[in-house]
Structures are given as structure tokens and as C-alpha cells.
């Protein structure tokens, strides 16, 4: 298969994205537009200067820039515009289902209400369904560098919107903030019948993945690439068919792997793990989901079967109902068979 026919095969694949921070989809152009609309001064002279600043050495060096960028988001319409811009972009990449992380504390700590954030996002997701036939779920993430009490307070603010939220997650600075810190708040989320997920094994050790499984009862691990350091853990993940939401371009941008050729995605699949491909923070890491698929396919020489498996995994790992999952798998089978 030539490179261009593989590219068009990837483009046409019906896809799901399960690891996407909506604040990480803020493109510099929209950042400037929102800054102007809200009378906020951004510490960059131009779009080009913003893009030049996106040179990261590790997770923290990225998070510092990411939290700075999010300061332009103030009004409900800003959250709508942010989410709808992402939705439009991925609709052109044949994405059929999205599960979106949002970080309420990044906004509530600046005086923006929880309601403002979630109502703006929700309106965009409703329009995604009605205008573009893209289904979605929202995942509320707690910032792990903040306290467990602050996370609990955030969960309490979310209770009136329980029906709009599928799951809670854990993101931000991983090292030094193990899943165990959030056991109580995740217990409370589980008692509200929310699913749970957590970033673990991105920069942190396999032990953080064990903790996410044992203490937070997660349905998926976000990243999880360091699991291969622990064969017992691999065996448990495989037996439970516990999905990993892998983000190849992000991992290279943040120095988890030196190059894409060094990425362990193929080993994860070969180990029988339910790995999926996602973009994480596409505006900052140089690619949306399709660019992630194209780049990692080329770097690792993935076959059409690998690509099929990755997409199928993402439908099966989603929080969609069994019926909708089966419909999407059928769409995928029709595509690859046709």
C-alpha cells in the first residue's frame, strides 16, 4: 500500500476519540479572538509567536503554557466556541464519537462559574449530535496538583449536572500526586454511578497504574504507556481488557518517548492490550486524531489490521451503550470490507 493510499484509508476510517482535553484544543487564532472579545492581554505578539512557544521538555513545561492559554475563556459562548471548533475539525476527519475531558478547576479558580463552563460545552455537544451526527460524553477531570478537598468541592458543584457527565478523571502534574490522594473523591463519584478514569503511567511509574485500578476502580487508563515495565500489570490489564488511551504525538512532544519510532504502541497491541489512539491536546502537540494515526502508522509501519484494531478498541472502550457501539463497529466493518 502506498503512503497516500494508506493516508486515505486512515482518513475514511470512522473513529472515536477518548482522550481529548477540550482546553488543549484551543488554537492560537481562537485564543487571540477570545482575548480581544474579553479584553484580555495575551503574553504573545502574534499567532506565530504562540506556536513558537510550544517547545516543551516535559509535562510540567506544557501545563504551564496550557493553563496560561485557558485564561482567555470567560463566558459561556467562549466554551461553546472552543468545543464547536474542535467538533467541526474532527467531523472532517470522520470522527463519529468523542469523549471530552474538561478541567472545571482551571476556570472556577479564576472566578468563572461551573455552570458557565458546562452549559457552554453541553450546547456545543448537542449541536454536534444534531448538526453533524457525532455522539459524545463529558468527563470531568480533577486537577491532581490541587488538594483532594478541592476535588471534592468540584464534584459537589457537578452534582446538579450529574446527567450531563459520564465519568470523572484525573489529570495535570502526575509525579508526586498519586491516585491514592483522590481515593475518597473517586469513591463518592462511583457512588453517584459515574464511571472513573485516570491519567497514569504517562510520566509516573507502573505503581500509579496499579493504584488507579485498585483504589479508583477505573474503567480506562489514560496514557498508561509505562505499563510495559511491569509484566504482572500487563497481564492484569490484558485479562480485564482494560483500555489504554494512548496519545502518540503528545508522548513525543512531552519527552515520554524520544521519537515516534521509539513509541511502544505496537508492543502494547502485540501484548494483547486494548490500546487506542488519541490526540490529548491537539492545538499544542501538532495534530488532531487523524494526524496522530498517520504519523504513528508511518513511524511504526502499522498495518491496516493494526489500524482496524485500534479503532475497534476505541468503540469498545467508549462509554456508549452496547447498541450504539455495535452500530459504530458495523460502520467500521462496512468501511474496511467495502
Q: Which three cell numbers stand for residue 258?
A: 524520544
Cβ 281 to Zn ion, closest distance in Å? 7
- Per partner kind, with CB cut-offs from 5 to 8 A, the member of Zn ion, ligand ADE, none near residue 202 is ligand ADE
Q: Does residue 99 belong to the site contacting ligand ADE (CB under 6 A)?
A: no
Closest residue (Cβ) to ligand ADE? 171
172: contact with ligand ADE by CB under 6 A: yes
Q: Please pick, from the candidates 17, 78, 99, 171, the single residue that binds ligand ADE as defined by CB under 6 A.
A: 171
Query: Rounded to the nearest whole angstrom, what is the least distance from the CB of residue 247 to ligand ADE in the complex?
Result: 7
Kindly name the residue from 76, 174, 202, 203 that is annotated as catalytic: 202
Closest listed residue to residue 281, CA positions, set 243, 313, 247, 315? 247
Q: Binding pattern to ligand ADE, positions 242-281, x when CB under 6 A?
A: --------x-----------------------------xx
Q: Which does 59 bind (CB under 5 to 8 A by kind): Zn ion, ligand ADE, none?
A: ligand ADE
Question: Which three three-digit cell numbers place residue 226?
Answer: 509505562
Give the nearer residue to ligand ADE in terms of CB position, either 30 or 320: 30
Q: In the complex with ligand ADE, which residue's Cβ is closer, 170 or 332?
A: 170
Judge whether 91 and 12 are in contact, CB under 8 Å: no
Q: Does 106 bind ligand ADE (CB under 6 A)?
A: no
Residue 76 binding: pick among Zn ion, ligand ADE, none (C-beta 5-8 Å cut-off by kind): none
Residue 51 burial (10 A CB sphere; 0-12, 13-18, 19+): middle
Pairing relationship of beta strands 275-277 and 244-246 according to DSSP bridges: parallel
Residues in contact with ligand ADE, counted by CB under 6 A, come to a total of: 11
Residues 227-286 that bind Zn ion (CB under 5 A): 280
* Distance, CA of 250 to CA of 75 (rounded, Å): 28
Binding pattern for the stretch 277-296 against Zn ion, x by CB under 5 A and - elsewhere: ---x----------------
Answer for which of 21, 71, 181, 226 binds ligand ADE (CB under 6 A) is: 21
Note if 202 is an active site residue.
Answer: yes
User: Taking the mean position of all CA atoms in its chain, how far away is CA 150?
Assistant: 22
Least CB distance to ligand ADE at residue 18 (A): 13
Instruction: Pick one of Zn ion, ligand ADE, none as the site partner of residue 316 (Cβ within 5 to 8 A by kind).
Output: none
8 A C-beta contact, residue 279 and residue 20: yes
Torsion over CA: 45, 49, 54, 57 (sign): negative
The DSSP secondary structure of 33-54, one letter per residue, reads HHHHHHT---S-SSHHHHHHT-
Q: Give the residue among 191, 187, 186, 237 at the shortest CA–CA distance from 210.
A: 237
**Residue 199 sits in the site that holds ligand ADE (CB under 6 A):** yes
Q: Distance from CA of residue 59 to its chain's centroid?
A: 15
How many Cβ atoms from other residues are within 10 Å of residue 263's Cβ?
A: 22
Order of strands across the sheet with 220-223? 15-21, 95-102, 135-143, 167-171, 195-200, 220-223, 244-246, 275-277
- State how far the Cα of 276 lies from the Cα of 294, in Å rounded to an integer: 14
Q: Please give the residue ranges that form the binding site for Zn ion (CB under 5 A).
A: 280
Residues labelled catalytic? 202
Residues at the site binding ligand ADE, with contacts judged by CB under 6 A: 21, 24, 59, 66, 171-172, 199, 202, 250, 280-281
Amino acid at each position: 500500500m502506498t503512503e497516500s493510499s494508506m493516508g486515505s484509508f486512515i482518513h475514511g476510517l470512522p473513529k472515536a476519540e477518548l482522550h481529548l482535553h477540550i482546553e488543549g484544543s484551543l488554537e492560537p487564532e481562537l485564543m487571540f479572538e477570545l482575548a480581544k472579545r474579553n479584553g484580555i492581554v495575551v503574553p504573545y505578539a502574534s499567532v506565530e509567536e504562540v506556536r513558537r512557544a510550544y517547545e516543551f521538555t516535559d509535562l510540567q513545561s506544557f501545563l504551564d503554557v496550557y493553563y496560561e492559554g485557558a485564561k482567555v475563556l470567560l463566558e459561556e459562548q467562549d466554551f461553546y466556541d472552543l468545543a464547536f471548533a474542535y467538533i467541526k475539525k474532527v467531523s472532517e476527519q470522520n470522527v463519529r464519537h468523542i469523549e471530552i475531558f474538561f478541567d472545571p478547576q482551571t476556570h472556577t479558580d479564576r472566578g468563572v462559574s461551573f455552570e458557565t463552563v458546562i452549559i457552554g460545552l453541553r450546547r456545543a455537544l448537542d449541536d454536534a449530535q444534531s448538526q453533524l451526527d457525532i455522539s459524545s460524553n463529558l468527563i470531568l477531570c480533577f486537577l491532581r496538583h490541587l488538594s483532594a478537598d478541592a476535588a471534592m468541592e468540584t464534584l459537589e458543584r457537578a452534582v446538579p449536572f450529574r446527567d450531563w457527565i459520564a465519568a470523572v478523571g484525573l489529570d495535570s502534574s502526575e509525579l508526586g500526586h498519586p491516585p491514592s490522594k483522590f481515593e475518597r473523591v473517586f469513591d463518592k463519584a462511583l457512588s453517584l454511578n459515574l464511571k472513573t478514569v485516570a491519567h497514569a503511567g504517562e510520566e509516573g511509574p507502573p505503581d500509579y497504574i496499579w493504584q488507579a485500578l485498585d483504589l479508583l476502580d477505573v474503567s480506562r487508563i489514560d496514557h498508561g504507556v509505562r505499563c510495559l515495565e511491569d509484566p504482572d500489570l500487563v497481564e492484569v490489564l490484558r485479562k480485564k481488557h482494560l483500555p489504554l488511551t494512548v496519545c502518540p504525538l503528545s508522548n513525543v512532544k512531552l519527552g515520554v518517548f524520544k521519537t515516534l519510532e521509539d513509541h511502544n504502541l505496537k508492543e502494547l497491541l502485540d501484548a494483547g492490550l486494548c490500546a487506542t489512539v488519541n490526540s490529548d491536546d491537539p492545538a499544542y502537540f501538532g495534530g488532531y486524531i487523524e494526524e496522530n494515526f498517520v504519523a504513528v502508522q508511518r513511524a511504526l509501519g502499522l498495518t491496516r489490521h493494526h489500524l482496524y484494531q485500534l479503532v475497534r478498541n476505541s468503540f469498545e472502550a467508549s462509554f456508549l451503550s452496547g447498541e450504539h457501539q455495535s452500530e459504530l463497529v458495523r460502520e467500521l466493518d462496512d468501511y474496511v470490507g467495502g
